[in-house]
């Protein structure tokens, strides 16, 4: 069997799969995010390790004893700064932290070829601007930095003792020459770093280390190989068979992502589309990224007194598509695609005396769907053809939300067995590819289809006026657009 570990933002998930791809065991452990100042988002690296141990040990010991290889996936872009003894110097700065927006402008000016090298705009979510911020605002910390690791790679260090990363996760640092799949010396130098600060690079299906004997003993398994793994989106794609040119998925996690596999490096930074390496050799991908998706569901459930997300979905469904005038802009943490706006924040429009918890819930589902539709438009503007999207992540549990998203995008959604398992499944599959030396297209074939949601023409028509209002509203709430 094969173990996949996903270091998420809200928790760590561990999944064991059998050789036929079926899920044999799962474990979860929660994480919390610290926001000590506006725009800040941080986690303690030690919390990732404690949650990883808890999630793995929640799996049946008999299943753990059968594990032959481990893959790791994780939240991308997080800056984990280690000293000479490999101890964290400060809390990790996360992917949805927006403090380094000024440093993005400075990096772009310092390295005019940045977009050509990375295929991306410099954005506050990425890792390199975070280090530029630390260099400027916390020089006493920066001077002690000996290694910079991404979140999953800090967990790898604890597991194996190796400083290693994979291409898909490293592409999101803005230090990688994405076409060459190698570190860029020019971009490292622009943040005061060198290759000596970076982990070794591996493909996602390469063996990158071996589980340390003391960890193996604690987890009740052999000292098995640990593979490169992938960033959460690339690993999620592997889990549902998005491995060939043109395959596409929609991830409904804390953030919302549309992911398109490509056989060549095809950047489009002008529309804030991401172009990164995939977790398999000689493959790349394009992404539109929305910083708030399922996190909006948790937020509105909390402020309206819903007991949980299912209750919120029920309230929205009882209201129905476009039944209220309310419009929601889901920019609770800023936005990436297509606006690249770290300072914009969410808003409700058209509230009145008839607004209810149900119409607010419905407006939030619609607002996230409209933002995702914006991202799909940006991908299509880049020449990408998308005929359907496989759905993964916790948001995949709601068929009603799928109905709203499908109508907003005017695109079919395909729900696959195990899609809600997410990146941990893909990480386990990458381990299987490495250990069994099998064909990735066979091992990573799509799971069986459970249902397909086609866009309902009636819903498309109902949502069209609100979708137009949504698009018109962004310039009026954005400090960037208003010149502030």
CATH 3.30.420.40 segments of the chain: 2-240, 290-414+454-477
* pLDDT of amino acid 397: 86
Domain 290-414+454-477 sits in CATH at 3.30.420.40
DSSP assignment of 106-151: HHHHH-TTHHHHHSS---TTSHHHHHHHHHHH-HHHHTT--EEE-H
Residue 176: is its pLDDT beyond 80? yes
pLDDT in tens, 253-267: 888 999 999 999 988
- Could you say which DSSP state residue 273 is in? B
Distance CA 76, CA 232 (A): 7
For 276, the 3-state DSSP assignment is strand
Fold assignment, 2-240 = Nucleotidyltransferase; domain 5 (3.30.420)
pLDDT per position as a tens digit, 95-130: 999 999 999 999 999 999 999 999 999 999 999 999
- Give the whole-angstrom CA distance, residue 277 versus residue 284: 4
Distances (CA, A) of 65 to 18, 54, 62, 86, 151: 12, 16, 5, 30, 26
Q: Which two tokens stand for residue 99?
A: 């403090």
* Per-residue model confidence (pLDDT) at position 266: 87
pTM, two decimal places = 0.87
Catalytic residue set: 232
Q: What is the mean pLDDT of residues 410-419?
A: 88
The reported pLDDT for the residue numbered 421 is: 80
Residue 21 has pLDDT above 80, yes or no: yes
CA–CA–CA angle 389, 71, 152 (5° rounding):
90
Kindly list the distances between the CA atom of residue 374 and the CA atoms of 249, 339, 429, 474, in Å, as whole numbers in the listed order.
Answer: 15, 9, 31, 11
CB 432 within 8 A of CB 19: yes
d(CA 147, CA 87): 10
Give the 3-state secondary structure of 150-184: CHHHHHHHHHHCCCEEEHHHHHHHCCEECCCCEEC
- Rounded Cα gap, residues 466 and 452, in angstroms: 25
Residue 483, pLDDT score: 67
Q: Distance between alpha carbon 219 and the CA centroid of its chain, in Å?
A: 27
Choice between 5 and 380, residue whose per-residue pLDDT is larger: 5
């Amino acid at each position: 069997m094969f173990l996949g570990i996903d270091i998420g933002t809200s928790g760590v998930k561990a999944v064991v799969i059998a050789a036929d791809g079926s899920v044999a065991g799962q474990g979860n452990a929660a994480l919390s995010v610290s926001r000590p100042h506006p725009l800040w988002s941080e986690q303690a690296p030690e919390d990732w390790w404690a949650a990883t141990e808890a999630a793995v040990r929640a799996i049946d010991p008999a299943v753990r004893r059968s594990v032959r290889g481990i893959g790791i996936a994780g939240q991308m872009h997080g800056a984990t700064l280690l000293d000479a003894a490999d101890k964290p110097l400060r809390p990790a700065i996360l992917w949805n932290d927006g403090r380094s927006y000024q440093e993005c402008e400075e990096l772009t000016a310092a390295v005019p070829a940045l977009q050509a090298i990375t295929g991306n705009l410099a954005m506050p979510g990425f890792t390199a601007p975070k280090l530029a911020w630390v260099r400027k605002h916390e020089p006493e910390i920066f001077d002690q930095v000996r290694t910079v690791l991404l979140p999953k790679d800090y967990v790898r260090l604890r597991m194996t003792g190796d400083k290693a990363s994979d291409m898909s996760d490293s592409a999101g640092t803005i230090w990688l020459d994405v076409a060459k799949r190698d570190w860029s010396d020019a971009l490292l130098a622009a943040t005061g770093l060198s290759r000596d600060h970076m982990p070794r690079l591996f493909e996602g299906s390469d063996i990158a280390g071996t589980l340390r004997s003391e960890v193996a003993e604690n987890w009740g398994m052999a000292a098995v190989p640990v593979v490169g793994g992938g960033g959460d989106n690339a690993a999620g794609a592997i889990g549902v068979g998005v491995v060939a040119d043109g395959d596409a998925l929609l991830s409904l996690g804390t953030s919302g992502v549309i992911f398109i596999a490509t056989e060549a490096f095809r950047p489009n930074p002008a529309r804030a589309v991401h172009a990164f390496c995939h977790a398999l050799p000689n493959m790349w991908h394009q992404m539109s990224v929305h910083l708030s998706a399922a996190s909006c569901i948790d937020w509105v459930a909390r402020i309206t007194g819903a007991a949980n997300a299912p209750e919120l979905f029920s309230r929205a469904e009882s209201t129905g598509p476009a039944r209220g005038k309310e419009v929601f802009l889901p920019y609770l943490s800023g936005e990436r695609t297509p606006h690249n706006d770290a300072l914009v924040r969410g808003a409700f429009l058209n509230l009145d005396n008839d607004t209810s918890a149900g119409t607010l819930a419905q407006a939030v589902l619609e607002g996230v769907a409209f933002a995702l539709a914006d991202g799909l438009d940006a991908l299509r503007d880049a020449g990408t053809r998308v005929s359907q999207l496989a759905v993964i992540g916790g948001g995949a549990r709601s068929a009603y939300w799928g109905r709203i998203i499908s109508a907003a995008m005017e695109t079919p959604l395909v729900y696959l067995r195990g899609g809600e398992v997410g990146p941990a499944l893909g990480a386990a599959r990458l381990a299987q590819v490495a250990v069994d030396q099998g064909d990735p297209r066979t091992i990573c074939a799509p799971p069986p289809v459970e249902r397909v949601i086609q866009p309902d023409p009636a819903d498309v028509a109902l949502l069209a006026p609100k979708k137009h209002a949504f698009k018109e509203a962004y310039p009026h709430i954005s400090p960037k657009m208003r010149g502030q």
